[in-house]
Amino acid sequence: MDYFLTEEQQTIRDLARRVAEERILPVRAELDEKEEFPWAMIHDIAAADLFRVFVPEEYDGLGGGCLELCLVVEELSRACSGVAVSYAASALGCMTLMEYGTEEQKKKYLPDIASGKRLGAFAITEPTAGSDAGNIKTTAEKVEGGYLLNGTKQFITNGGEAEIYTVIALTDKSKGARGASAILVEKDTPGFTFGKKEKKLGIRSSATRELVFKNCLVPAENLLGREGLGFIQAMRLFDRSRPGIGAQAVGLAQGALEAAVDYAEQRVQFDQLLITMPVIQHMLADMAINVEAARALVYAAARYVDSGAKSVTEVSAAAKVFASDTAMKVATDAVQICGGSGYMRDYPVEKMMRDAKILQIYEGTNQILRSAIAVNLRKRKGRTA
């Protein structure tokens, strides 16, 4: 398929593919097995300027948008979803800064994000606030000299490895979600420590940790935008970042499809190659149809975000839901086609199946996102948006 990418977009995609194939693919099984943060890969991604893709030019970036970010994430995820999410989480960690930050804040942090010298992370989830994201308890009390943070964030991607955190905390407890604010917190700020590193089903090379704030004093100038906007900022951020999760899903599904075709081309049963059997052919065809449909929807959503459209909630949710459901199904079918071998760690598809599950859960569970789509559907009486 030709998605009419510009020459620059093709260059970005091709380079991301090279990094993925030459640097990530050979070590992905080892990264998964060791559950070790892929710093060497992060350095390779940085050296290739891929962290510059999503940062504006005036801060040492290349000024790309959602589609460019998606192209990189897709290619990285085709090799390893754990590495891809570590990359994407850095973008997530600085998107609120890019949109609401002051010139000074951007100048201070974005060049280091662009060069890949420092990673970013975004923190909203808490033990009491998963899908019910408004139910956060972490507080940021205004005191002399800044904000005093107290509370615990949970399941934070890049936790412990990132150096720049965008944290959503309550500056006004009495107002609930309307009293939430987005605050930048740097690693090594006194009172800011990390809890346990989670042991996960998939994306095991990525770091997922608790952030623990105990009387952590952050300068007042680290507030992003205005007090009380935090929840709205977070929802707006996810509207724009979800195509990225869709791209991660498309890349994973593409990798699983390729692995399944590869296997079917070699495996002989009943004196014939699997690939010549209609039952396998139809499974593979369905996988290919869904991967391409998911890609088309993800790119369309990314382009819609880049167009500056006001309300992107529905299309970005749709892209994330459809692509992640596709990834789960395609990876599961890839294991099925590879049979007993596919279930073994010697083959890449069992890892892909484990990695796929989180895509239906994080950045809005597919159930929550379907609910959001349904709300909009009622508003527009089912007509085309």
Distance between start and end Cα atoms, the chain: 26
In the complex, what is the shortest distance from the CB of residue 100 to another protein, in angstroms, rounded to a whole number? 27
In the complex, what is the shortest distance from the CB of residue 12 to another protein, in angstroms, rounded to a whole number? 6
Site for another protein contains 44 (CB under 8 A): yes
Site for another protein contains 48 (CB under 8 A): yes
Which region among 46-54, 124-132, 314-322, 352-360 touches another protein (by CB under 8 A)?
Answer: 46-54
Q: Which of 327, 315, 350 is nearest to 247 (CA)?
A: 327
Site for another protein contains 15 (CB under 8 A): yes
Which region among 49-57, 163-171, 187-195, 353-361 touches another protein (by CB under 8 A)?
Answer: 49-57
- 363 counts as catalytic: yes
Show contacts with another protein in window 213-272 (CB under 8 A): none
Site for another protein contains 95 (CB under 8 A): no
Site for another protein contains 52 (CB under 8 A): yes
Q: Which of 100, 45, 82 is nearest to 237 (CA)?
A: 100
Q: Figure out which of the listed residues 31, 42, 53, 133 binds another protein, where binding follows CB under 8 A.
A: 53
Show contacts with another protein in window 23-42 (CB under 8 A): 23
Residue 94 token pair: 């600085």
Q: Which of 286, 289, 264, 267 is nearest to 275 (CA)?
A: 264
Closer of 22 and 58 to another protein (Cβ): 22
CA torsion, points 130, 125, 80, 5, in degrees to nearest 10? 90
Distance separating alpha carbons of residues 132 and 127, to the nearest angstrom: 10
**How far from 271 is each of 163, 242, 275, 277, 365, CA to CA, in Å?**
57, 45, 12, 11, 44
Site for another protein contains 62 (CB under 8 A): yes
> What is the 3-state composition of the chain as percent helix, strand, coil, each rounded to the nearest 5?
60, 15, 25
Residues annotated catalytic, as ranges: 363
Binding footprint of another protein on the chain (CB under 8 A): 8, 11-12, 15, 18-19, 22-23, 44, 47-50, 52-53, 62
